[in-house]
Amino acid sequence: MQREGGRAVPMDFDSQRMLIDWKDAAGFTIADAQTGVAVFGATGSGKTSGPGQLLARAYLRAGFGGLVLCAKVDERAQWDAWAKAAGGRGDDLVYVDASGAARFNFLEWEAGRATEGAGYTINVVALLDEIAGATDTGAGAGDGGGGGDNAFFRSAHRHLLTNLVELPMLAGVAAPDASGGELRTAQYSASIRMSACGRGSIG
């Protein structure tokens, strides 16, 4: 490892470089890491504290970067400790959360990305619809597979999202070159509150 700008930088990313020595002449290499790893086990069987920790520490020592999605409240502290123990990698960590300086506006990204399909209302709506479905843990429970009133409300929800997304995009708020413009969920919340007031309460 060499230091660059106060951070550890790997000098060798050869695919056959050994990350973990299994002591049987068949060590775990960078090439193995690039193919993906899956760890299976029952709850509380030690997936994280055993193979998970072993792999994480090896990746950190080798200078790997990556995205870690923390599902448990203690996982961030766990990765803090692992990074600090891996040659001072603690300074490399960037925290993306509601209270941190680093954030990711997925709506702005979807509306302004350079690849095919960017800026289409239907794609932004599909993204929001997917997120809503993932966060609604009770969706579909006990309704026999959906239908009836549920189908009506899903359709109405999608119609509302389409109108809410279309309005700021037509106004140029989501355009990449808009001065200070940015697509935010707060805009949608404000629009919903305004529409709930009714036409008779405006003015």
Model confidence over 103-149: pLDDT tens digits? Answer: 877 777 887 777 787 777 888 888 888 877 776 654 444 444 554 55
Mean pLDDT, all residues of the chain: 75
Q: How far apart are CA 199 and CA 118, in angstroms?
A: 33
In the chain, the percentage of residues whose pLDDT exceeds 70 is 70
Q: How far apart are CA 125 and CA 165, in angstroms?
A: 7
Token pair 């997936």: residue? 47
Q: How far apart are CA 115 and CA 70, in angstroms?
A: 29
Task: With both helix axes pointing from N to C terminus, report the angle between 149-170 and 185-197 in degrees, rounded to the nearest 10.
Answer: 110
The set of residues, in sequence order, having a beta carbon less than 8 Å from that of 60 and lying 6+ positions away, is 82, 83, 86, 87, 89
Model confidence over 14-27: pLDDT tens digits? Answer: 888 899 988 877 78
Q: How far apart are CA 23 and CA 11, in angstroms?
A: 24
Query: Is the pLDDT reported for residue 83 higher than 90?
Result: yes
Token pair 């579909």: residue? 140
- Count of other CB atoms within 10 angstroms of residue 45: 11
Burial class (CB in 10 A: 0-12, 13-18, 19+), 157: middle
pLDDT band (50, 70, 90) for residue 56:
very high
The pLDDT value recorded for residue 172 is 63
In the chain, the percentage of residues whose pLDDT exceeds 90 is 24
Query: Is the pLDDT reported for residue 1 higher than 70?
Result: no
Q: Is 182 left (phi over 0), alpha (psi -120 to 50) or beta?
A: beta
Greatest Cα pair distance in the chain: 79
* pTM recorded for the entire structure: 0.61
Query: Is the pLDDT reported for residue 11 higher than 80?
Result: no
Q: How far are the Cα atoms of 66, 110, 119 from residue 113, in angstroms, in the given order? A: 21, 6, 8
- Would you give the DSSP letter of residue 103? -
